[in-house]
Amino acid sequence: MSKNQNDRVYVGKGVKARGNFDLINISIAESKLNSHWYEYNGERYVKLTVGALRQTDQYGKTHSVWVNDYQPEGQANSTPKMEKAPLEDDMPF
């Protein structure tokens, strides 16, 4: 992530889905992502982060979306390293 919130590249907003679901519906501006794509093993990726807003905005949006530009120390300006997805999903939901 960026070192401070003012450095973030905001690309969209979202809203929590109605009902008893833990879902966030987001909209992303394609034009704001053009320079943030990278390639890994022949696929194109962009890393995003979704965070809850402190207050719902004037349009009812509850979440914000920004480019995740986190680079571990010593790896700045290098291609992000991605691990292969595990065969089994170990997510609790």
Which tens digits make up the pLDDT trace of 18-51? 888 889 999 998 899 988 999 999 999 999 999 9
Closest CA to 64 of 26, 31, 93, 92: 26
* Amino acid, single-letter form, for residue 41: N
- pTM of the full structure: 0.66
Beta carbons of 46 and 85 less than 8 angstroms apart: no
The length of the chain is 93
> What pLDDT, on a 0 to 100 scale, did the predictor assign at position 3?
57
